[in-house]
Structure 1
Amino acid sequence: MYRIVFLLLSSFLLWGCLEKKPEPLALPYYNEPDFTPLFIKEKSDVAKKVTHKIGNFSLLNQDSIYITHKNIEGKIHVANFIFTSCGSICPVITKNMKIVSDTLKGNKDIVFLSYSVTPWIDKPFVLKKFKERNSIKNPNWQFLTGNKSDIYKLARQSYFAEENIGFSKDSTEFLHTEHFILVDRAKRIRGIYNGTLSLEMQQLIEDIKTLEKENLSL
């Protein structure tokens, strides 16, 4: 009798273990241009240990409307750096960003920012045509242009756009990177992805969903 009861209890415990789904892993934070991941277990430690945030900016979008840092406050955003005359990686990374955008286009709290690295060419009307040519309909995807120095400084010092160089590269040197940068609601960098690889877009989508579950106070 005791043996039967023991076997039944063991079965229930085993079934419970099988049914319990593992908690998703928290995404790391990034404080430095070399993208060394910083994993933090306690939420109370985030403010003390994570010092880097995306800086302030004010740039024109494809509709000649100013988009600033205030437009991303309290929102998750993904940033990349393109130029409309690029014939190499830009068409690929735009296509891959569109995969993510189309998957999440119903969510107003997810913003996509594509900064032009040739702003002297990519005026708002040029960016508007580029957006139309690529059939991009997500109203939360902004193509941004403005002062070259401002964009390059933001790219290198805030987004660490060229992760193996960071802000040490001279601001006059041409900026060209395939990376997508994932930023949380508090403007902290949480992920870097190779925009030329469609497989990494699936990971980016999953990571965005993970960030959506995080406490807004972070």
Structure 2
Amino acid sequence: MNKKPNYSYVGIALIVLVFGIIFIPKIIDRLSTGDVIRDESRSEDVSRAEKEVNKKSYKSDLVYIPNANGGKKKVPSFSFTNQLGQTITNKDYLGKVYVIEFFFTTCPTICPRMNRNLVEIQNEFKDFENFGVASFTITPDVDTPEVLKAYAEKYGITNPNWHLMTGNEEEIYKLANEGFYLYTAKNDEIIDGFEHSGNFALIDKEGFIRSRLKSPDNPLIYYNGIVSEEEGEDDEGIPQEITILKEDIAKLLKE
């Protein structure tokens, strides 16, 4: 006698078969490629954590900038006249943390912005006798000590270690281009007749150029001196670096 098939078991078998055909290959594929949701979540968390650790570690210490021979790049020897008619050399800055800029008093574009930022930094560290600024004019024929003094008064420069210096033009350009690699040149085709870097260099108490790292093997070297903290970024989306410069000055003052 023939028995009637049990349709409930047949239905379950069909469901299992369909599930296996549709879903099991997908699961196997995801396992073989490591593409599993739980693993994705954990991997993303680990990746984020690693990035945060790296970010903190490579930005926590200030590195030395290498020179052409692989040693530590140091401020070259210089001797110029400041706004008070005094002779100032690199030795006057030993034992001090200071910022270097190249500018000129008749500059109508970036120099006023740079020096307003430096005055803000000056005021931030007004209680530190071992903080200073070294400003070198690239138009020494125009920027006499008297002119530099008037400029200092106009911008509120009060730090006794902030020297605005003038002197031999060839020596100043050599100091900028060869000593610091801060580009400076005459150019009659632009509005003010000169081209120069809008960056600041940060110098430690022993006269070495210092900087934080942008990535584990990539030093920032110089700090954008044009964009202010209030602006946040310029029209091209370049962020301000005055905040990090202040942070790094504070670190060097503690060394």
TM-score exceeds 0.5: yes
Confirm or deny: 8 A CA contact 2:64 2:73 kept in the other structure.
no
Map 1:2-151 → 2, pairs under 5 A: 25-32=60-67, 50-151=71-172
- The answer on 1:179 being equivalent to 2:214 is no
Q: CA deviation at 1:32?
A: 4.8
Q: Secondary structure at the match of 2:141?
A: coil
Q: Which has the higher contact order (CA 8 A, sep 6+)?
A: 1
Q: Secondary structure at the match of 2:178?
A: helix
1:196-216 CA deviation, whole Å, 9 max, x = no partner? 1123111111001111222xx
**Distance across 2 between alignment mates of 1:31 and 1:175:** 26
Confirm or deny: 8 A CA contact 1:152 1:175 kept in the other structure.
no
Q: CA deviation at 1:90?
A: 0.6
Larger Rg computed on CA atoms: 2
Q: CA deviation at 1:177?
A: 1.2
Q: Which residue, out of 207, 210, 213, partners 1:190?
A: 210
Same amino acid, percent of matched pairs: 37
- The answer on 1:203 being equivalent to 2:244 is yes
Judged with a 3 Å threshold, the aligned counterparts in structure 2 of structure 1 residues 185 and 49 are, in CA distance, closer, same or farther, namely farther
TM-score by structure 2 length? 0.62
Q: How many residues align?
A: 172
TM-score by structure 1 length? 0.72
1:32-53 CA deviation, whole Å, 9 max, x = no partner? 58xxxxxxxxxxxxxx953321
Confirm or deny: 8 A CA contact 1:105 1:140 kept in the other structure.
no
**Distance across 2 between alignment mates of 1:212 and 1:109:** 8
Residue number in structure 1 paired with 2:37: none
| Structure 1 residue runs without a partner (length 5+) | 1-21, 34-47, 163-168
**Distance across 2 between alignment mates of 1:181 and 1:202:** 14
Residue number in structure 1 paired with 2:36: none
Q: Secondary structure at the match of 2:207?
A: coil
1:9-63 CA deviation, whole Å, 9 max, x = no partner? xxxxxxxxxxxxx887111221258xxxxxxxxxxxxxx9533211111100001
RMSD: 2.2
| Structure 2 residue runs without a partner (length 5+) | 1-55, 188-193, 212-221, 230-240
1:166-196 CA deviation, whole Å, 9 max, x = no partner? xxx8x77755110010011121111311111
1:68-113 CA deviation, whole Å, 9 max, x = no partner? 1110112211000110000000110010011111111221111101
Confirm or deny: 8 A CA contact 2:62 2:248 kept in the other structure.
yes
Residue number in structure 2 paired with 1:166: none
**Distance across 1 between alignment mates of 2:164 and 2:125:** 17
**Distance across 2 between alignment mates of 1:74 and 1:140:** 12
Q: Secondary structure at the match of 2:196?
A: coil
**Distance across 1 between alignment mates of 2:195 and 2:171:** 12
**Distance across 2 between alignment mates of 1:49 and 1:58:** 26
Confirm or deny: 8 A CA contact 2:64 2:72 kept in the other structure.
no
